[in-house]
Amino acid sequence: MSDTPNLSETTSRRSWPAVPASVLLRGTFVVMGLQLVVALLTRLALLFQGRGVVEWGIGLVGAFVSGLWFDLLAACYSAFVWWILALLIPGLIWRSALGRTLFSLIVGLYGVVFVFIGVAEWFFWDEFQVRFNFIAVDYLVYTQEVIDNIQQSYPMPAIFMGLVAAGLFIGWIAGRVGLVKWVTEGDSRWLPRIWQTVGYAASLVGISYGFNQSQLPHFNNEFNREIGKNGIYAFCAAFWESSIDYDRFYMKKPVEETLARVRTLLETKAAKLASAGPHDLRRIIKHDGPEKHWNVVLISVESLSAEFLAHHKSSKSIQTPYLDKMMDEGLWFDKMYATGTRTVRGLEALTLSVPPTPGQSIVWRPNNEELFSLGHLFRSRGYDTAYVYGGDAMFDNMNYFFSHNGYRVVDRQRKTEKDITFQNAWGVCDEDLMNWAMEEADADHAAGKPFFLHVMTVSNHRPFTFPDGKIERPQPENPRKAAVKYTDYAIGNFVEQSRSKPWFDNTLFVVVADHCHESAGKVELDVTKYHIPCLIWNPKLVKPQVYKPLVSQIDVGPTVLGLMNWSYTTQFYGEDVLDSGYEKSKRRAFVSNYQKIGLLREEALAILKPKGEVTLGKVEIRTGDFASDTSGALQEVLDDAVAFYQSASWLFTSGRMKAEN
């Protein structure tokens, strides 16, 4: 006699259907249904959060229709754990009271996970105004930092209690309406489970290869496109798409044609090509007169948007009084644009002076050792070069990258308790960081060595905590604005203390943001979300000046070297924008996220996207307003974008970005 119950009899006693008839398929029905319900509620919650920026109407209907499709794909992925469990657990267990309890527990745990992801998406949207992307994947590599950050930023005990309650409630509901009994009374024979699992695995493979987020339809508003995604599917897609092959996915031209064009773009009156070789992108920078061997302290500030400083807006700033004072006394750039939306992009731009090729920053990639870097140039002239970071430099691969590209690394791991007065998940307070930088400068001066210190702040990062009693907090209370004000205070203290140092008269101070505090906008690449402050200061060395034209973050290093009158052979794409030989027609900036890479001119923007797609049009850089324009007049901007980005990708992947011995 078969040990499987008569399915028609068991199901006739309840309203749930007899098909699908197996434990595996019935359980999948429950898991996928739960995922679809939570995904819909999450989408509605995010719509509420973004209600002021989405485009209401037929476009929003399209977002929900697309969202349902990606919810189904995500639900297929979500059922993977259930299939493994249902395959391994013997059929006798499923047909017992233990089996019913076990399935209730599984449903409850699935509920906890789905609700947790929904809650996480709410906070992720609050921070970045997008669904899960590569930032979320990237952060998971550093579990401890992320956990500490979450604990210090959000009421986790209450959130965990809510998640447990949600799981218990979902498991109870599944039992109350008969779903648990319906699933466990299904066909649990071993052989059918094997074949069903094989079919499921084949379906997952087909989904992985046959569908991707690029199939989302075009939306006039990028927020609608984000609403149309599914968090789980977006996370998996970001994980697999972290590295993007330029030649495979982006518009390109024959390599020889691309290199010929970029050689023309890179050559200026101030920077002549080093040779006639078609593959040689090196340039010779030549200055008359002696070089200045000034010390340089480059402070890259976490998430400091230009809008925080008074000089970039009409109203008086209460967040950055000291930096505003330094801008009055020094050289500052009115239209400086960051290359990306992450710290590693800023570090890449400032250190390597190259456009941001798609995917991960070079700081993260394999084979990124001994590249031609700013540290390499300073060290070749006898400087001590150090990267001073307030957190743990293993984060974002900074330790490996800097230690293999001409820098010593000074970070929290290399300090003792006496060197730290305050710290949170991301690192020490900026005052402690500046004290470390001061110690490095004093030690180098005592040893008779010029120094180049790249100092990376962390206080203007969630959870936005710092020592009490240092600043008067903004009213009404705003944690981010308070953190910006504290960072300004810490930099101000450092500069004021430096005035009494014997090395001050010979030291150039450079302050520049790594990226803005927000990244998403209503258009594909909102250029206002890349506008950052940058200033070069020391009244004894630099005269006050405002530089009005367009500047890229990759131009900071070459411009500093130009102020010091250095002659050298360069592999940088960046320009000395202050040199009289830098032509107006050459001015440009580079903006990007992980997949979209753009070339910005004063009034035009060309965006290169996967699958060889492009967006081309006119842009108002102060407001970010964009109007598509594919006329021949802008074709040159698109051709330049291809030349810059294709050649930069080629330069790195071919190993030609290495420093010469």
Residue 421 CB neighbour total at 10 angstroms? 12
> In this structure, are 232 and 277 located in the same domain?
no
Q: How far apart are CA 455 and CA 302, in angstroms?
A: 11
H or E element that contains 248? helix 246-249
Domain stops at, among 581, 608, 642: 581
391 within a domain of the structure (yes/no): yes
Q: Residue 569: which residues within 8 A CB-CB, separation 6 or more?
A: 274, 282, 283, 284, 285, 660
Entry pTM? 0.76
Q: Using an 8 Å Cβ cutoff, are 406 and 386 in contact?
A: no
pLDDT at 291: 96
pLDDT of residue 614: 94
In a domain, 631, yes or no: no
> For residue 534, which of 341, 348, 311, 336 has the smallest C-alpha distance?
336
Q: Give the pLDDT confidence score for residue 12 in this predicted structure.
A: 38
**Quick one: DSSP state of residue 660?**
P
| 117, 231 Cβ separation under 8 angstroms | yes
* Contact call for residues 439 and 465 (beta carbons, < 8 A): no
Amino acid 145: pLDDT = 59
Examine the fold and report which residue of 531, 556, 581 is the final residue of a domain before the chain moves on.
Answer: 581
Residues 300/456, Cβ–Cβ less than 8 Å: yes
Pairing of β 331-337 and β 545-552:
parallel
CATH number of residue 388's parent domain: 3.40.720.10
How many whole angstroms separate alpha carbon 402 and alpha carbon 129? 31
Tell me how many domains the chain contains: 2
401 — alpha (psi -120 to 50), left (phi > 0) or beta? alpha
Q: Strands of 604-609's sheet, edge to edge?
A: 589-592, 597-600, 604-609, 613-619, 626-628
Claim to verify: residue 60 and residue 202 sit in the same structural domain: yes
| pLDDT value, residue 636 | 94
Nearest alpha-carbon partner for 570 in 559, 580, 578, 581: 559
Q: What does the block give as tokens for 241? A: 């798409």
Same-domain status, 131 and 276:
no
Q: Classify residue 632: in a domain, yes or no.
A: no
Does 2 reside within a domain?
Answer: no
Residue 603 lies in a domain: no
- Among the candidates 542, 561, 581, a domain finishes at 581
Question: Is residue 179 included in any domain, yes or no?
Answer: yes
Tell how strand 283-285 and strand 568-570 pair up: antiparallel
Which residues, at least 6 apart from 649, have a Cβ–Cβ distance to it below 8 Å? Answer: 246, 247, 357, 358
Question: Residue 48: is it exposed, middle or buried by C-beta count within 10 angstroms (0-12/13-18/19+)?
Answer: exposed
Contacts of 614 (CB under 8 A, 6+ apart): 251, 606, 607, 608, 638
Residue holding tokens 């293993």? 394
Look up residue 8 and give its two tokens. 């028609």
Same domain flag for 226 and 366: no
Task: Give the per-residue pLDDT at 322.
Answer: 96
Which residue segment(s) compose the domain that 124 sits in?
7-240
Domain assignment present for 278: yes
β-strand partners of 284: 272, 569
Question: How many CB atoms are located within 10 Å of the residue 45 CB?
Answer: 15
Indicate if 337 and 449 belong to the same structural domain.
Answer: yes
CA separation for the pair 410, 90 (Å, rounded): 56
> Are 392 and 457 within one domain?
yes
CB 307 within 8 A of CB 313: yes
Residues 203 and 305 in one domain: no
Asked if 550 and 417 sit in the same domain, the reply is: yes
The answer to whether residues 276 and 325 belong to one domain is yes
* Same domain (yes/no): 279, 233: no
Q: Which residue ranges of the chain lie beneath pLDDT 70? A: 1-20, 134-135, 137-147, 149, 240-243, 314-317, 521, 661
Residue from 137, 635, 90 nearest 342 by CA: 137
278 to each of 116, 261, 431, 637, how far by Cα in Å? 54, 10, 49, 22
Query: Would 103 be classed as within a structural domain?
Result: yes
Pair (69, 217) in one structural domain: yes
* Residues 343 and 434 both lie in one domain: yes
Tokens of 522: 């209503």
